[in-house]
Structure 1
Amino acid sequence: MALLYTIIIYEMAGHTLKLPHPLSDEFIDLINLKQTTWRAGRNFHVNTSMKHITKLMGTMIDGNFKKLPVVTHTQEFINTLPDNFDSRNNWPYCPTLNKISDQGSCGSCWAFGAVEAMTDRVCIHSNGTKNFHFSADDLVSCCSYCGNGCEGGYQSAAWEYWKEVGIVSGGPYDSNQGCRSYEIPPCEHSVPGNRMPCTGEVQTPKCKRTCNFGYNVDYKNDKMYGKHVYSIQSDENQIRAELFKNGPVEATFIVYSDFIAFKDGIYKHTQGYSFGGHAVKIIGWGIDHGTKYWLIANSWNTDWGDLNGFFKIIRGENHCNIENNIVAGEPLLVNNL
């Protein structure tokens, strides 16, 4: 495997810093010399386009986030929370809690973090009687005020769109599942693999208010909606209480260049510069050898990292702003027809 020796030079706190290229073996070795809670390794091929990697960070600065109502939980309820919690074990009748998506070369993390949490919550709030998978494609392509589609979007707008306009069902690329399956093919976020290379060269799909051929429900009638949309106070106990009571939430965090090399352990920023904001779904929490963490579902397919597409990040320190922008909502379990 060819090594990358390109030096990245950038300014920080008035000093010029030089680092190995973020996809080089040198950079991975540097991380492992300095980290204490996790292990770095190769995920992306050395020839992966940096345009693709930066495009994965599709969360835009959300000026409307603070306009959402804030939900808080009582201290009495917080005192009952366990030290470890995994939504997959708590609601085993909801299969989507185990699902990891692939956003492809589209900056649609803001949409995937939203629809995956919405999907889980419909199942949870219906006690497993409704398994409706919301379409990321519908949200990315049809929400005109959510941002710029594959060029990035706003998480709060995605949830508001769910409440005001509704989102149809849909499955992964080329699955023909639901009303609108994802139109952007998966690409190779890790090595080795047989998917197409990730290039970052992809256009936002056109908004199509029709369902997949053969789907027997009309587009308008297929939609499901949110009943309430809200934010959670930037406090680990409030976030834990929301997760325990109502299910997964969408979060955003700053991705640094060392994160793309995450393999296992509990991620803590160690080395590198910011790529931008990324949206994910928090599904649980825990403590490992005295270190508190959030358990999170990513959207870079199941073979990214060594945890089948999930990862852990330091909890309770607002690390990389992971606790700053938490959005969730309550589903409306009867269609608005």
Structure 2
Amino acid sequence: MNFVLYFALICELFYDIRSENRYGSRANQIVDYINNLNTTWKASTIPNFQSWDYDLIKKLMGVNLNATTSKLFNMEVQYHDQDKIQLPDEFDSRIQWPDCPTLHEVRDQGACGSCWAFGAVEAMSDRICISSNGAVNAHISAEDLLTCCDNCGFGCDGGQPQLAWAYYRSNGIVTGGQFGSNQGCLPYEIPHCDHHTTGIYKPCSKVVDTPKCVTHCESSYNRTYKDDKNFAKKIYYVPFDPKQIQSEIMQYGPVEAIMIVFEDFLQYKSGVYKHVTGDLVGGHAVKIIGWGVQDNTSYWLSVNSWNQDWGQKGFFKILRGTNECGIEAEIYAGLPNTEKQMASRNRDNVFNKINYEFIGPGNDPLNHKEEIQSDNFIQQPFESQIEKHLLTLEEFHQNNVA
């Protein structure tokens, strides 16, 4: 066979294989099928993920469905007494707790299978604010959890939400904003990207490598890595029962949920999603913030981590009460140790004020951010700590200012 002809056939075969791995043609078929049905939701008129390979889409689904069970990790179960709780027809955490800004946020996991971490830190952030009645707003770092929890899984190649919550309790997680925000101790390092359609970001190309774990804050941040840690005092699994899940959300705030993603979910735009067509893609973690009823269809109000270009500006509704796509079977949450967080922040505020009054801004003779351990500080009587600090500052003032 002519070499040129042979090479051309090989190229054509390779192209056909690549084309078969593209989701584009399937996306168009699914959109047309859904939007011509009398179902409870509508697909995006411009199909999402058209240029994506199946392999890349599947890698975004960062939850291993074979290992998602609370029994595997001996996780406590949190029950609510339904006789004492009146459940409304509709509930939205954003309305219930208007002073908590993270409830309105939609994050972007980028080209990384880190949904397991995002669903967790999003709920953790909300619950810290809710538990403190708006006094503490901590944007918990997906970067810290993703890169430093070795036992959680494989970083951008997937992880387990249960172990993410366990890490929150045992190791603590620092704060950190989204990519490019320069907010908190460790902002997210992986850039936003257009997962699904042509938007304001660059297209996602391939799943990135997991960044290295860093145990120090950005130089512009005014707290140490250790002092910035946020901990849970309790973590648990919410029973496989819609009313129990509702009770949990209404009392303590959003929860992390695991769901099975099918091809048609990728095309969701509005309405109440339920699986209609398409193959299984993988396991995904999202956040549930409330519930309601639309056109006589009960739904969970949920948040995805594919930025605001997807769905209803990043939010979506999914059928409630029938365990649609398994979303009611694996629910995880916890209670933050806000007492410790508030004590630590009050300590810093008091010390900063005292330092300012004695020696002016920009000076810290004690270097207390490095030397004073939060745990020891909180265990001591607050008055004795202030008195000791005042004496030290007074001595510094006499020796250096007088």
Using structure 1 for the length normalisation, give the TM-score: 0.91
Amino acid at match of 1:127: N
Partner of 1:73: 80
Counterpart of 1:228 in 2: which secondary structure?
strand
Partner of 1:251: 257
CA distance in 1, matches of 2:180, 2:91: 34
Partner of 2:172: 166
Which stretch of structure 1 is more off in the superposition, 187-196 or 323-332? Answer: 187-196
Partner of 1:12: none
In the superposition, relative to structure 1, how do residues 63 and 53 fare at CA in structure 2: closer, same or farther (>3 Å)? closer
Partner of 2:234: 228
Bigger helix share: 2
1:199 positional shift: 1.9
Kept in 1: contact 2:290–2:301 (CA 8 A): yes
Amino acid at match of 1:332: N
Matching of residues 102-251 of structure 1 within 5 Å: 102-251=108-257
Counterpart of 1:255 in 2: which secondary structure?
strand
Unmatched 5+ stretches in structure 1: 1-5, 9-18
Partner of 1:283: 289
Counterpart of 2:334 in 1: which secondary structure?
strand
Partner of 1:13: none
CA RMSD after TM alignment: 1.8
CA distance in 1, matches of 2:323, 2:167: 27
- Determine which of 287, 291, 308 is the counterpart of 2:313: 308
Bigger strand share: 1
Unmatched 5+ stretches in structure 2: 1-18, 342-373, 376-402
Alignment partner of 1:328 is 2:337: no
Partner of 2:383: none
Deviations 1:72-117 (Å, cap 9, x if unpaired)?
A: 1112134x11000000000000011000000001000000000000
CA distance in 1, matches of 2:26, 2:132: 44
Which stretch of structure 1 is more off in the superposition, 291-300 or 47-56? Answer: 47-56
Alignment partner of 1:28 is 2:34: no
Amino acid at match of 2:277: Q
- Determine which of 254, 268, 272 is the counterpart of 1:266: 272
CA distance in 2, matches of 1:256, 1:52: 14
Kept in 2: contact 1:258–1:272 (CA 8 A): yes
CA distance in 2, matches of 1:201, 1:139: 18
Counterpart of 2:291 in 1: which secondary structure?
strand
Amino acid at match of 1:81: L
Counterpart of 1:145 in 2: which secondary structure?
helix
Identity of aligned residues (%): 50
1:213 positional shift: 2.0
Kept in 2: contact 1:51–1:200 (CA 8 A): no
Partner of 2:54: 50
Partner of 2:14: none
Counterpart of 1:160 in 2: which secondary structure?
helix
In the superposition, relative to structure 1, how do residues 304 and 216 fare at CA in structure 2: closer, same or farther (>3 Å)? same
Amino acid at match of 2:79: T
Alignment partner of 1:92 is 2:98: yes
CA distance in 1, matches of 2:40, 2:327: 17
Deviations 1:215-263 (Å, cap 9, x if unpaired)?
A: 1111111101000000110000000000000000000000000000001
In the superposition, relative to structure 1, how do residues 113 and 299 fare at CA in structure 2: closer, same or farther (>3 Å)? same
Counterpart of 1:120 in 2: which secondary structure?
helix
Q: Which structure is higher in RCO with an 8 Å CA cutoff and minimum separation 6? A: 1
Kept in 2: contact 1:132–1:169 (CA 8 A): yes
Q: Which has the larger radius of gyration?
A: 2
Which stretch of structure 1 is more off in the superposition, 44-53 or 135-144? Answer: 44-53
Using structure 2 for the length normalisation, give the TM-score: 0.77
Kept in 2: contact 1:136–1:170 (CA 8 A): yes
Counterpart of 2:106 in 1: which secondary structure?
coil
Kept in 1: contact 2:165–2:334 (CA 8 A): yes
CA distance in 2, matches of 1:135, 1:158: 12
Kept in 1: contact 2:112–2:157 (CA 8 A): yes
